[in-house]
Amino acid sequence: MLNWDDYRVFLDVARSGSLSAASSTLKINPATVGRRITRLEESLGSKLFNKLPRGYQLTQAGSELQEHIEHIERTEKKARGALQKASATISGSFRIGAPDGLSNYVLPIVIANIQKQHPNLDIQILSLPRVFNLSRREADLAIMVTPPKTGRFLIKKIVNYHLHLAAHSDYLKKSAPILSKADLKNHTIIGYIPDLIFDPTLDYMSEVTPDRIPDLSSNSVAVQMQILNLGAGIGFAHDFALAHFSGITPVLKTIIHQERAFYMVRDRDDRASEQSNLIASLLYQGIKKEVKRLETLAYQI
């Protein structure tokens, strides 16, 4: 008799590509995960994974099984959603994929407030510099700057956000004056690593200095903000991040500014779940409110 838990383990390994990552999610040790996979393969009489140096890769049989199991998973979610009643109490685990700027400067207070209202809910923030694959269940919900144009998704715009060139006051005191865009050629530029920009809309600096590679760069907004805070140069900063750094101030504020938007992206099948709908609603309201609050503080700088 097959154990459904083995299929759950199989899905986690298929989605993460490693025993250790799956074991962290499932909260069981990697050796147990490996034994579950072996047991499932023996039960089915088919090899599901190839073991490669970089992790576990699905075989053709494994890919076909994943498709069938994910269909069952979606069906189960719909059935569970149909039985659920809207409730003020939600529980379980919920993973949010988001850009690291939002993850560092907005989401912590949003999810802390949600968890206070719903202490039985475990919320995880997956902050990675790339687009999240909801179809493979890397996250239950994703916040994106550029939503997908194809696929079975529910997409909802949350809020516009704004960016300005900024530098630490210590840097501005010791450096040449910045009165126009042309003056930037005399300054150290901080920005993204060009070949690691996963979304073209995040290439803020190229619109201002198109022929120049940043002098100091990182694929992380949080790292860029720390470099700015050290007084090492000038770079674009999210207004909602500026509110967290008293020493960093906007530069050429009325001349150079940019606007982007955050979108909430969910698997279309999730609308059958009252719990998922409630969590999504709480996140939508919380993110929108917090971005506006932080930007209001930044405008007072």
Q: From first to last of its 301 residues, what are the pLDDT tens digits of the chain?
A: 456 788 888 998 998 888 888 888 788 888 999 998 999 898 888 999 998 888 899 999 999 999 888 888 777 776 665 555 544 568 888 989 999 999 999 999 999 999 999 999 999 998 865 555 555 567 889 999 988 888 888 999 999 999 999 999 999 999 999 998 888 988 999 998 888 877 778 788 877 887 888 899 998 999 999 999 999 999 999 999 999 999 999 999 989 999 999 999 998 888 888 888 999 999 999 999 999 999 998 877 6
Structural domain that includes position 131: 93-158+262-299
Q: 33 in a domain, yes or no?
A: yes
273 token code pair: 């779940």
**Same domain as 270, residue 147:** yes
Residues 151, 270 share a domain: yes
125 - beta bridge partners? 96
Residue 133: give its domain's CATH number: 3.40.190.10
Domain shared by 45 and 169, yes or no: no
Q: What are phi and psi of 57, to 5 degrees?
A: -115, 135
Number of structural domains found in the chain: 3
Angle at CA of residue 105, ends 167 and 206, nearest 5°: 45
Residues 140 and 281 in one domain: yes
Q: 88 in a domain, yes or no?
A: no
Q: Kindly tell me the number of DSSP H helices and DSSP E strands found in the chain.
A: 10, 11
d(CA 210, CA 41): 53
Same domain membership, residue 76 and residue 101: no
Among 36, 63, 83, residue at a domain's last position: 83
If asked whether residues 239 and 208 sit together in one domain, one would say yes
Task: State whether 273 and 132 are in the same domain.
Answer: yes
